[in-house]
Each structure stands twice: as C-alpha cells, then as structure tokens.
Amino acid sequence: MTRSPAGAVVTGAGRGLGRQLARLLLARGYQVLVTDVNPASAQEAADELGDGATALAVDVRDQAQVEAARDAIVSRAGRLDVWVNNAGVLVTGPAWEQDEAGRRLMLDVNALGTINGTVAAISAMRRTGGGHVVNIVSLAGLTAVAGEAVYAASKHAAIGFSLSTMADLRLAGVRDVDISCVCPDGIWTPMLHDKLDDPGSALSFSGKLLKAEEVVEAVRTVLDKPRLVTALPGRRGLAARLASLAPRLGLAAAPLVVARGRRTQKRLLADLRQRGAPKA
C-alpha cells in the first residue's frame, strides 16, 4: 500500500537548486519546510512557493536547529517522508591559499551539515514507517577537483558517510529508510554566478553546465526509485570515476580539463558582457 505524501524538508532552499527541489516536493503533494541559514531568503522562497510551504531558519551546522526543523515538520505534517540535504558552500582555490575559516566552513556545511540532517531525519523516519534522505553531493565527491580541493574533501565525506550509513541501516535490519546521493556536474545557480572570473572554479565549467531543472529531474527519478549514487550527466560521472580509478591519468588530464573550463568561463563572461545581461 502506498502512503499519501506527508512532510518533507529541504535545507539551503532559500535560492538556487534547493528552492526548485522544494517546488518539486510541493508538486508531489508534500507539506514542505523550506529551510535556509538566511531567514529572509527562506521566507521569500516559501512565499513564492505558496500553499503547503513554510519557512524556517536553519543553520545545518547546528544539530539543535536541524532537530527543531525535523520536529516542526513532524508536528505539522504528522510524519517526515523526505529530507533533502541540499545546503552547500563553495570557496575555491588551492587549500594553502584559503584561510582556516573558509576551509572549516565547507567541511562544516557540506559534510557535517549532511551528517546532522541525515541523522536527525533517520531517527524520525525509523519511528514512523520509513522515509528517504536525498543528499545533494557533487561530481567533486567522486574524483579529484583541482581548484576545489577542500570542497571535494567535504563532498567525498558526504558520500562516504551516506554509503556507510546505508550499510549500517541494512545491518540493523532497517529496510524502509533509504539514502540517495545525487552528484551533479557544475550547475548554473547563484553558487557559480560570480565565478566566471575565478580560475579556481574552472573545473566546475569544464563540462556542459547543467540547468537546475535537470538536477530536479534526477531527484524526481530517485524519489520514485531510491539509488545510492546518481552522477549527472552520466558520461561525466563515468569520466570522474575512471579518473579516480587511475589517479595518475586524472592528474595528467587536469591541465587540459582546467583549460577547457577556463575557455568556457571566458566565453560565458564575454557573452554576458556583450548582452549586458544579468548573470542569472
């Protein structure tokens, strides 16, 4: 018997991909808690999304705030069915050029935030007949990424944690809770809007930039059929995995891939300047 949709939470849903994922969940009939560290953007997103969406300020680095979000959706919707760990931050450049605060921020938001959300969600889902945690990771969780080393470390941590926790759930006999990791290539969201002039983020531009809607579509697919790891697009996921299997080859290819990304950045920047258009 399939249940009718109850509650869902999306972190980092004030803008970018998260806002679109909240829209997807609303369209599927969930009551959605739109959370973000930025209270104004969470509220604006919930207002835009309309009926069924409520805003809550949540910093995913803070376990107590994450648990408060879980409790809020359970008391409102009766049950937590879906939790999307989407909040993320990207600071580019070689690790030795970043300050400690920047490195810590990425690990705290991208890795610890994903852990906090997953743990909080699982405890509610286990009590109420199961559910699905969707973790928005990145191709940077599958391979080396020049210019984004600490970001890649944080995303590798998110994948390692997710797969290990799935193993723990199954070993504990829990079969009605799933965790799916979605690993996109570069997406044209505000995260990359100010990075066209930034050589550190060239690798994010080395493929064909994804539209947020393409990632939403991948999440729609895993909501119907949970999948441990979905790389997006598949061809780039395969290249990332091959580069990981043969790290020397990956290292040798890095200058070419970075150069390709720089060319795309420059082309996009020139296009935008020519059109005098806003970047979004």
Ligand X SMILES: NC(=O)c1ccc[n+]([C@@H]2O[C@H](COP(=O)([O-])OP(=O)(O)OC[C@H]3O[C@@H](n4cnc5c(N)ncnc54)[C@H](O)[C@@H]3O)[C@@H](O)[C@H]2O)c1
Residue 202 DSSP one-character state: G
Q: Which of 18, 117, 147, 200 binds ligand X (CB under 6 A)?
A: 18
Tell me: does residue 138 bind ligand X (CB under 6 A).
yes
Counting every residue written for the chain, the total comes to 280
- Residue 136 half-sphere exposure toward CB, CA atoms < 13 A: 29
Active-site option among 11, 58, 69, 151: 151
Taking CB under 6 A as the binding criterion, the range among 24-32, 55-63, 217-225, 255-263 that sits at the site for ligand X is 55-63
Tell me: does residue 16 bind ligand X (CB under 6 A).
yes
User: In the range 169-228, which residues lie near ligand X by CB under 6 A?
Assistant: 184, 186-187, 189-192, 204
We find the least distance from the C-beta atom of residue 4 to ligand X, in angstroms, to be 28
- Number of separate helices (H) and strands (E) present in the chain: 10, 7
Q: What is the DSSP string of 86-126?
A: -------S-GGGS-HHHHHHHIIIIIIHHHHHHHHHHHHHH
Whose CA is closest to 110, among 165, 162, 154, 63?
A: 154
We find the least distance from the C-beta atom of residue 117 to ligand X, in angstroms, to be 9
Cα separation, 37 vs 221, in Å, equals 27
Catalytic, 30? Answer no
Taking CB under 6 A as the binding criterion, the range among 54-62, 220-228, 236-244, 253-261 that sits at the site for ligand X is 54-62
Helix (H, G, I), strand (E, B) or coil at 132: strand
Tell me: does residue 12 bind ligand X (CB under 6 A).
yes
Chain contacts with ligand X (rule: CB under 6 A):
11-12, 14-18, 36-38, 41, 58-61, 86-89, 109, 113, 136, 138, 184, 186-187, 189-192, 204
Q: What residues are annotated to the active site?
A: 151
